[in-house]
Structure 1
Amino acid sequence: MLKLIPFGFVFMILPESIPLLVMYVPGMVPGTCLKDSQVQKTREKLDKVRQKMTANVLKSAEKVDGIAPADFLSLTKFQRIAKHYAYDFDLIRIDRPHLASYCRFMGINNIGTQGMLRKRLEKYMNYINEDDKLLLKENVDELNIKELSHAVEERGMRSIDQDEENMRRGLKYWLSLTHPANPENTIPVGLLVFSRMFLLNANYKGKQ
């Protein structure tokens, strides 16, 4: 939906440019307008970016006491971290370089002022939140592999070289974070995105 407005504008004004967009700027084109091979190529490119960012974050985390990557795989520990660092991960308090990194990791435009990046990330995460509500109604187990891959990619998780069951478990875990039984345990958006870098290559075995 986020891509439909600019894509629709281009379609009405410069329809002859659509083939060029599909070939050279697939990120601007809605997924339904792309070939499977183009979608795969875009995901592989983004995966390389995410892997590099993840490696840097994990290396930096080794110097921080009190937080380990495994903590983000435990719902209870994750919620405990969220309560402790909620203030620091409020998007209004995150500086421009980090907001740009968050946007880049989530696959959205990371160019602009601090305010622009914050609003862009908020809009994207609001869209994801609404989609989460639909997933909770539809049941993750009923998604086909194409729908599942799209859902995990949009949420900063991997579909490249991933076991289908691991993706389903990862998506279910995401939903438990965004829509917990107790609303007071909801994870701040900034921390939710940041956690994707710790969990990019996570094994969700045992998660329901």
Structure 2
Amino acid sequence: MLRSISRQDVSRQLSFNVASRYSISHRNQRPSLLYTRLYSTPTTDPRLSPSEKPSLPPNTPPRSQPKLDLRPGPVKTKSLGNSPRATAKLPDVPVKAPSSVPKLNLNAAKHEAQRDIEEAEKHGILPPPPPGANWFRATLHKAIELAKFYFRGVKLIFSRRKQIAAIRARIREGGPPLTRAEFRFIQTQKDDVNKVIPFIIIALLLEEVIPLIAIYAPFMLPSTCVLPSQRARIEAKKAEKALASSVNSKAVFHAIKSQAHLAPLSLETIKGVEGAPTAICSLLGLSTLGVDALRIRRVKKHLEFVAEDDALLLQDGASLKDRDLDDTLAERGLLLSKATTTASKHALLQQWLDAVRDKSPEEALSARLSLILSRQ
């Protein structure tokens, strides 16, 4: 039988617990309370009401150092060996390879464009500035005269349509057949018509850029808007490009020639050899921009033009001047040295014409490709 616990028993128990937790020290006649950690199990009698249950002071949590909220947090650096001046490792950044396209030297291009204008002024194509003009008046005069030159060139493209219409009307009516000069005149007009609209837009927005286009992108200029020194530089660059292709693409040309033992040369043969479309375009003075399909298309159109030109050369039988003879051989990819005589040039052109005479278009195409590669 459980013994009943009175309220006095509870009070005595509490007093005993408190006295046990705190002991009085009488050292040097100065009383002090010393905290003593005591673990005791409180009385848990189920018959006591909640108000009668003893309330013990809660355990004091151990003291801890206050937290410091650092914003932003300190940067942790890793030790890199015993180096006294260790630095953090930088992230790996991909480095772009240098571009193979040469950088534009605008200063040199500016001086070259200035020389083109001076040469045109010496030959009377552009009137020079008035004597005694200062820098501003001279620059303004050159800009105005260049604008007039480009305007007259664009106007000439549109006015030539009447001449071409008259030539075609004469042929339709059964008049004299088309001559080689007229054929080349019509082809030049077609190229200029395709270039005139972009050229007009550039001339209206950025006229001062046109001399730079003549240096770095001459294929954008119509033939009527090119100064004589610019035309000479364009032809020289074409010849240099063809010579570089002949020297640097020996392996490509050898691979094309090896295919000729299996089947006649054709555009499909060129397409099947890696690098051949680019090499052939450079050799013929054509643009190499774009993919191989575009390069093959340019080669095809150019050889079609050469085929018609060959037929007209055989028809007219006229002797060409030295300048025209050089251009004709360059269009056919027949490179010449400076020591080549005029008689040798005529003999080379005659050999070309004899090789394609009285042949079908496929046989003539194969013969032309064979003659081009035989000179490489």
AA matched with 1:188 = L
Q: Does 1:55 align with 2:247?
A: yes
Distance 1:12 1:156 in 2: 32
1:91 to 261, 267, 276: 267
Does the aligned pair in 1 maintain the 2:278–2:295 contact within 8 Å?
Answer: yes
Does the aligned pair in 1 maintain the 2:242–2:285 contact within 8 Å?
Answer: no
Does the aligned pair in 2 maintain the 1:57–1:198 contact within 8 Å?
Answer: no
Unaligned runs of 5+ in 1: 68-80, 201-208
1:146 to 323, 336, 341: 323
Q: Deviations over 1:157-177 (max 9, x none)?
A: 235623222222222222223
58 and 126 in structure 1: CA distance in 2 versus 1, 3 angstrom threshold: same
Give the number of the structure with larger relative contact order, counting CA–CA contacts within 8 Å between residues 6 or more apart: 1
2:201 to 13, 17, 42: 13
1:103 partner SS: helix
AA matched with 1:10 = P
Q: Does 1:24 align with 2:216?
A: yes
Distance 1:56 1:98 in 2: 12
Q: Deviations over 1:112-154 (max 9, x none)?
A: 223222212111111111122222222252x222221221111
Q: Does 1:186 align with 2:363?
A: yes
Q: Report matched runs for 1:162-173 at 5 Å.
A: 162-173=340-351
Does the aligned pair in 1 maintain the 2:214–2:226 contact within 8 Å?
Answer: yes
2:275 partner SS: helix
Compute the displacement of 1:108 (Å): 0.8
AA matched with 1:91 = L
TM-score normalised by the chain length of structure 1: 0.66
Count the aligned residue pairs: 181
Unaligned runs of 5+ in 2: 1-187
18 and 57 in structure 1: CA distance in 2 versus 1, 3 angstrom threshold: closer
Compute the displacement of 1:4 (Å): 2.0
Compute the displacement of 1:32 (Å): 6.1
- What is the match of residue 101 of structure 1? 279
- What is the match of residue 74 of structure 1? none
1:186 partner SS: helix
- What is the match of residue 112 of structure 1? 290
- What is the match of residue 73 of structure 1? none
Compute the displacement of 1:102 (Å): 0.9
- Which structure would you say has the larger Rg? 2
AA matched with 2:245 = M
- What is the match of residue 315 of structure 2? 137
Q: Does 1:155 align with 2:332?
A: yes
Percent same amino acid at aligned positions?
Answer: 20
